[in-house]
Structure 1
Amino acid sequence: MNNPLLSQELLPPFKHIRIEHMEPAIDQILSDNRVQINALAAQPEPSWDTLVLPVHNLDDRLNNAWSVIAHLNGVMNNDELREVYKRCLDKLTEYSTELSQNEALCNAYKAVAARCDFAQLSEAQRQSVNHSLRDFHLGGVDLSPEDKQQYADLTRELAELSSKFSDNVLDATQHWFRHITEADELAGLPDSALEGARQAARQRDLDGYVITLDFPSFYPVMTYCDNRKLRHDVYEAYVTRASDLGPDGGRWDNTPVMAEILKRRHALARLLGFNNYAERSLATKMARTTDEVLGFLTRLGEESRPQAQQEMAELKQFAADTYGVDDLAAWDIGYYSEKLRQQRYDISPETLRPWFPADRVVTGMFAVAERLFGVQIEIRPDVETWQDDVTAYRVSREGETIAWFYLDLYARKGKRGGAWMADCRVRWRNLQGHLQLPVAFLTCNFTAPVNGQPALLTHDEVTTLFHEFGHGLHHMLTRVEVADVSGINGVAWDAVELPSQFLENWCWHPESLALIAAHHETGEPLPDDLLQKLLAAKNFQSGMQMVRQLEFSLFDFRLHAEFTPEAPTNPLDMHRQVREQIAVVEAPAFNRFPNAFSHIFAGGYAAGYYSYKWAEVLAADAFSLFEERGIFDGATGRSFLHNILEKGGSEEPMALFQAFRGREPSVTALLNQSGIGRHAA
């Protein structure tokens, strides 16, 4: 069978990939791998060249097929693909568990680590072997046969449950919509949102307007729509997604799914000798103990909450004095916050949209990367993609190709919400000595161009794009040639957000904004008065934003740290407890936020959502060096490239940070950058 997913070409032949190719490709690779793994594990004197490199070769072939399948499942989801994806996921989970519990293979790795020439291997090679030995332990290799079987069962069930959670959120999000025929009901919405609502209606063969729960539709309603009843209805539909309540209550309810996930995670952690899943999570992170994480989050909360309370009091006073609203509800917060922002700074996200056409932002972002890191990026329309509005790019340095990536910017039916970067191909030097170049998928969900007009982004969307591109640069600019510590591979999860949050800073400085912003009709730069208003409003309600993220982090971490099978923690109860401790916005009783918290129940952030704040400290402190020396200072940019981006997971993240910054990170930099409390600049 001529299966394009078995091709060893660098760039996948998307135009030739069919759903019927997927499962046979995975079956073939898994079958081949099993045979070869047994032979590799049985060799008498394993070495890097005879064991580790061949294993990486097998891993890479599997990754190159699965990365494409997983990506298409996220961006072109349909019932047929979903079923194939689930079946393949089951097989991969079983294979992964099998591999991690293969005692012969583990012993072969131990033999490599015990060789007298182990010290002569490169730091990346030694780190790779050490990570593998750690992962064998975390995969249950030391367990009894009965416990190994239980571990395998738990792992398989968790993969199925996480996929179910994600499917429920996607189905609940895409099922609900509100058809509106009278434009008056949408008074206050900006033209861009109205046009998006018209387009959503046309896609459903309806007249008038359609509001959906996709973020580009949901957010403008919550921020600008004068119709309080509509704001309430959209908010209720959004915060009850995949739950027992709301317009689709009970249809895609994730309540039992969450309970089963938590129960199995705890059992998995206990099998491995940890007290709870939070401890298990920290085994691969920078933070060392649960107390360290809780102390970190608590300190940020203590520093931020007084300012958040003050900001909330100001908002309530403003709504009462200016609009006569004395009963500010959760669905009013965004709306009146935007009114207050406009009154205080005379600026709104919509005011700025004309200066951020997507094409200009993208080329400006590339120019920032070129000035900082010495790379050139060019569009390649000859490269096959999975959708007409997806673009492929070549990354080079001094004329030499070093990476490729795909950019998929716009929301569409069947595409998972949010924004993310995923690897398509990993940089490494293979068995034959050939250097495989890295390839990345960069995905967002912005409003697509309509009626021949360019897509115009909000400034928040610009920072989202920079965030994902930061992840992409981490993946693509690595110089590591060992697969499992190349790019973002092997990087501690609470350090992996450093490059992404770091790059967001270039959305806030006049020198870089000059490259990013230009009026979509005239090409004129962002006027100085708008620039000054944007910068003045940067830390508007930063205290409220900080405690909101701390709420998510504390909820996630405490949920996993405090779970016991004897008295299972109810996620809704834990969410209420945490909100009482940290939140300043009162949530209605019908709020079911945990039911759609995909980051922790269907993503990689279980007992790790705190990583955003942890890495934000690293990013703020790293950027403070650019603030001292100039945001395009060449030597500082090269230092960040050499010490952070190029090193991937080949060294410990704290050592890399200290090599760049000259000291350990300080939380003060984040508080200062956010304008919070006594640290406000």
Structure 2
Amino acid sequence: MSNSVPTSPLLDMPLLPPFDRLRPEDVEPAIAELIDRCCRKLQEGLNKPGWESTLAPLEEVQDQLNRAFSPVSHLNSVLSGPWRAPYEAALARVTAYWTELGQNRDLYAIYQQLADSPAFSSWPQQRKKAVELGLRDFVLGGVGLEGRARETFAANSQRLAELSSRFANNVLDATNAWTWHTEDESELSGLPQTALAAARAAAQSRGLEGWVITLEGPSYLAVMTHADNRDLRERVHKAYVSRASDTGPNGGEFDNSAVMEEILRLRSEQARLLGMANYAELSLASKMAPDTDKVLEFLGDLAARAKPAAERDFAELQAFAAEKLGLAELQPWDIAWASEKLKRARYAVSQEELRPYFPYRKVLAGLFAVVEKLFGVTVEEDEQVPCWHRDVQFFWLQRNGERIAGFYLDPFARENKRGGAWMDSVCVRRQTTNGLQLPVAYLVCNFSAPTADKPSLLTHYEVTTLFHEFGHGLHHMLTKVDVAAVSGINGVAWDAVELPSQFLENWCWQPEVIAMISGHFETGEPLPQTLLERMLAAKNFQSAMFTVRQLEFALFDFKLHCLEQGASAADIQQLLDKVRAQVAVVPVADENRFQHSFSHIFAGGYAAGYYSYKWAEVLSADAFSLFEEKGIFDAATGERFLHAILEQGGSRDALDLFTEFRGREPRIDALLRHSGIEQQELNTTPG
């Protein structure tokens, strides 16, 4: 009998990670070995410069590293627990490797040599763009720094990765730490049956009688929108908005104050080391927007258009609450509840009334049918693929019966799973020595899970979330690019990366599509025409209030990263207060520490980039307006979007691709029309 230790599957990763065989203890040695392989391959390539002799072999081994690290990072997000420590150890090693690579002058010289060669102009576009973006990233990675500055930049990069992970951990731990338990159902008056069933299941999983409210998305939103118990709304709201901060019920326990301060200080220092005024300037070096003034002007102009409408929305809500709900003064924990009451009074429709007509499985099948009509691809489940949780499904994307991509779908909220919704890469499409590697994606949401007597039922808002994430997935999976650096969403300007996702959301509002994605979970009957009409009429209900909320986040993020020296926790709060005074229309609780859980900018890729949602929304609304002209399932227009946007990845500049699709540069009017905001000429639009 052999005593040899079994080889970790991470070292020889197949296309689909063997989730049934991955073990936390395998992570560190496997990642260390894969990084060693990368370093050895790099040294070989430096001795014989060229695309085929240096860059292609390096791409091959780095892809192996990425495909091993991807499931580790993913499991940390969706299961946490035993994967946190190995993930953080691996993250430190991987960050150090990429930082060192970004400062390797010998490799930089090879990129420069290739770009300067007479033959470069006749290279395939994908390879040219990969070299051009590589040269840019070397500069942004500190390749030109000397001595102490070089060491500091590398150390800062390492530390920033650690701090981002800590920020996310604190938010998750703070979310999990707070619950509220009751055995008196009357305290939950107003909550819909779906929410009550979930609260009972949460209690049972903890060995308790009655009901448990948590800070996971579905539970929190149900209370804020429907609970008639004002004290409960206040309690839950204050716990939620104070997560990971110095205040609230767990104040100081998972406090992100010092983490934010250090992140901002290090980001400012990184920008200064590269000769830039602030981190916002550094962030824009890889985006569509030309400079910080353009972004601030764009956001400021949009705020000026939206705020008067938002103030009218809020004044109407206050008047309704005073007259009909007996609330002389609206508090932050009253807004969603009162808004739902006003929406029902005005349109006789609510998200809960819609929920029975949007069973998750029906929505999913309808989404797949929409994508087939638009882009000629079909989706087929493969139940033989090992997954990390019983709720997860795996699907193949096919064209003409041939597999072209795959994706995992993890739809439901659960403890120890990061909140929100996102798409991430399992592996990218690329040409390998053994043939074509297909792109594979993770799609993650946090919908209410099925209960003993009901399937998962979605609000229409959650339907749009599913379409949004699938739009990201299509961008990753439908690429025709074979070079990893510009395949799928790789190399795409961050302020254009939301274009396909926001674009696909538009179909959720088309009557023809609603018929495809809806059907009562018990009877299968379609959404009644009267309910459909009321839902569509309510589409832009309080849309201006939603717009200024997004602008509040975007302006806060961008102005924060325009500071030259970072900021203290008190400074951060003061800046947020100033931005709110500029654009917000709703009251804020004294305990509100939104910034302490703003993972998009402190633990995600949106630092000095949250404006991207609005920037890309201009693009997506304008792109969809062509379908409004030609027909929402016009085959030629769908094919045009597929070829111009989805297949091209990052191989060409985003503005050029948009212009190729639309026949002109983007305009703001479609966004204003779709949002129900009175159109006035904006001074600036993306481009």
Q: TM-score range by the shorter chain?
A: over 0.9
Correspondence 1:112-191 to 2 at 5 A? 112-191=114-193
Deviation at 1:109, TM superposition (A): 1.2
Deviates more, 1:446-455 or 1:604-613: 446-455
Deviation by residue 1:202-250 (Cα, 9 ceiling, x = unmatched):
1111000000000100001000000000000000000100001000000
**Structure 1 residue 255: Cα displacement:** 0.7
Mapped to 2, the partners of 1:540 and 1:340 lie a distance apart of 10
Superposed CA offset, 1:293-346 (max 9, x none): 000000110110000000000000000011221111010000000000000000
Retained in 2: the 8 A contact 1:259–1:570?
Answer: no
How many angstroms apart in 2 are the aligned matches of 1:534 and 1:23? Answer: 51
Q: Identify which of 39, 60, 70 aligns with 1:34.
A: 39
Partner SS state of residue 117, structure 1: helix
Tell me how far apart the structure 2 counterparts of residues 333 and 84 of structure 1 sit (CA, whole Å): 42
Shift of 1:103: 0.6
Alignment of 1:259-274 (within 5 A): 259-274=261-276
Q: Is the 8 A contact 2:200 2:212 kept in 1?
A: yes
Shift of 1:283: 0.4
Deviation per CA, 1:483-530: give whole Å up to 9, x if none: 110000000000000000000001000111111111111111111111
Map 1:509-520 to 2 at 5 A: 509-520=510-521
C-alpha separation in 1, matches of 2:403 and 2:680: 44
Contact kept? 2:45, 2:55, Cα under 8 Å:
no
Q: Distance in 2 between matches of 1:563 and 1:672?
A: 38
Distance 1:236 1:21, change over 3 A: same
Distance in 2 (CA, whole Å) between partners of 1:568 and 1:16 is: 43
Q: Does 1:65 align with 2:68?
A: yes
User: 2:118 aligns to what SS in structure 1?
Assistant: coil
| Aligned residue in 2 for 1:599 | 600
The answer on 1:56 being equivalent to 2:52 is no
Does the aligned pair in 1 maintain the 2:264–2:567 contact within 8 Å?
no
- For the residue of structure 2 that corresponds to 1:328, the secondary structure is coil
Task: Please state if 1:670 is matched with 2:675.
Answer: no
Quote the Cα distance in structure 2 between the aligned partners of 1:377 and 1:653: 28
Structure 1 match to 2:95: 93
Report if aligned partners of 1:562, 1:569 keep a CA contact under 8 Å in 2: no
Q: 1:497 maps to what in 2?
A: 498
Partner of 1:252: 254
Residues 475 and 647, structure 2, Cα contact 8 Å, conserved in 1 = yes
Deviation at 1:569, TM superposition (A): 7.3
Provide the residue aligned with 1:390 in structure 2.
392
**Post-superposition, which runs of at least 4 consecutive aligned residues in structure 1 deviate over 4 A?**
565-569
1:120 to partner: Cα distance: 2.1
Of 231, 238, 241, the match for 1:239: 241
C-alpha displacement of 1:180: 1.1
Q: Is the 8 A contact 2:499 2:616 kept in 1?
A: yes
Q: Which residue of 1 aligns with 2:617?
A: 616
Q: Which residue of 1 aligns with 2:3?
A: none
- Residue in structure 2 matched with residue 301 of structure 1 by the alignment: 303
**Does the 8 Å CA contact 1:179/1:209 hold for their aligned counterparts?**
yes
Q: Is the 8 A contact 2:265 2:566 kept in 1?
A: yes
Q: Which amino acid aligns with 2:16?
A: L
Residue 420 in 1 paired to residue 422 in 2? yes
Q: Give percent identity, aligned residues only.
A: 54
Q: Report the equivalent of 2:375.
A: 373
What SS does structure 2 have at the residue aligned with 1:445? strand
CA distance in 2, matches of 1:127, 1:27: 30
Equivalent residue for 2:319?
Answer: 317
1:526 maps to what in 2? 527
Change (3 A) 1:81 1:310: same
Q: Which runs of 5+ in 2 are unaligned?
A: 1-5, 682-687
Tell me if structure 1 keeps the 8 A contact 2:168–2:603. Answer: yes
Q: Identify the residue that residue 579 of structure 1 maps to in structure 2.
A: 580
Asked if the contact 1:672–1:679 (Cα under 8 Å) also holds between the matched residues in 2, the reply is no
Query: In the comparison of the two structures, how many residue pairs are matched?
Result: 676
Change (3 A) 1:584 1:120: same
The SS at the match of 2:134 is helix
Q: Show structure 1 runs of 5+ residues with no match.
A: none
CA distance in 2, matches of 1:453, 1:671: 39
Cα-to-partner distance string for 1:137-186 (whole Å, 9 max, x where unaligned):
10000000221100011111111111111110000001100001100000
1-side partners of 2:638 and 2:453: how far apart? 38
2:14 is the counterpart of 1:13: no
Contact residue 279 and residue 608 of structure 2 kept, 8 A = yes
Matched residues in 2 for 1:19 and 1:450: separation? 31
Contact 2:669–2:679 (Cα < 8 Å) also in 1: no
Distance in 2, matches of 1:182 and 1:392, equals 41
SS at match of 2:522: coil
Task: Give the match's secondary structure for 1:405.
Answer: strand
Q: Secondary structure at the match of 2:191?
A: coil
Quick check: 1:449–1:455 contact (8 Å CA) kept in 2?
yes
Between 312-321 and 8-17, report the one with greater CA deviation: 8-17
Q: Compute the displacement of 1:570 (Å).
A: 1.7
Q: Partners of 1:146 and 1:6 in 2: how far apart?
A: 35
In 1: Cα distance, 2:570 partner to 2:98 partner: 29
Q: Which moved more, 1:660-669 or 1:112-121?
A: 112-121
Residues 166 and 602, structure 1, Cα contact 8 Å, conserved in 2: yes
Question: What's the offset of the Cα at 1:47?
Answer: 1.9
Q: Distance in 1 between matches of 2:668 and 2:272?
A: 33
- How far does residue 588 in structure 1 lie from its aligned partner after superposition? 2.1
- Give 1:679 deviation, angstroms: 6.2
Please tell me the residue identity of whatever aligns with 2:577. R
Aligned to 2:684: none
Contact residue 42 and residue 54 of structure 2 kept, 8 A: no
Under a length normalisation based on structure 1, what TM-score does the superposition of the two structures give? Answer: 0.98
* Residue aligned with 1:570, SS: helix
Residues 223 and 338 of structure 1 are in contact (CA less than 8 Å); yes or no, is this contact kept in structure 2? yes
The alpha-carbon deviation at position 590 of structure 1 amounts to 1.7
Whether 1:653 and 2:654 are equivalent positions in the alignment is yes
Within-5 A mapping of 1:619-634: 619-634=620-635
Question: After superposition, what is the alpha-carbon deviation per residue over 1:571-627, rounded to whole angstroms, capped at 9, x for unaligned?
Answer: 111110000000000212221110000000000000000000000110000000001
How far apart, CA to CA, are the structure 1 residues paired with 2:140 and 2:407?
32
Separation (CA, whole Å) in 2 of partners of 1:271 and 1:562: 15
2:517 partner letter: I
CA shift for structure 1 position 194: 0.5
Matches of 1:678 and 1:89, distance apart in 2: 47
Aligned equivalents of 1:577, 1:459: Cα separation in 2:
33
Which one-letter code corresponds to 2:372 in the other structure? E
Question: Does the 8 A contact of 1:563 with 1:569 survive in 2?
Answer: no
TM-score (norm 2): 0.97
Relative to structure 1, the CA distance from residue 659 to residue 569 in structure 2 (aligned partners, 3 Å threshold; closer, same or farther) is farther
1:32-52 Cα deviation digits (max 9, x unpaired) = 111111221232xx2221121
Matches within 5 A, 1:173-212: 173-212=175-214
CA contact (8 A) 2:422 2:445 kept: yes
Matched residue, 1:543: 544
**Letter aligned with residue 672 of structure 1:** R
Cα distance in 2 for partners of 1:567, 1:4 equals 44
The verdict on how the C-alpha distance between 1:565 and 1:230 changes in structure 2, with shifts beyond 3 A counting, is closer
The one-letter amino acid paired with 1:637 is G
Secondary structure, aligned partner of 1:429:
strand
Shift of 1:7: 2.1
556-565 vs 215-224, greater mean Cα deviation: 556-565
Considering only aligned residues, what root-mean-square deviation do their CA atoms show, in Å? 1.2
Q: Which moved more, 1:633-642 or 1:517-526?
A: 517-526
Displacement of 1:568 after TM fit?
Answer: 8.6
**How far 1:116 sits from its partner (Å)?**
2.1
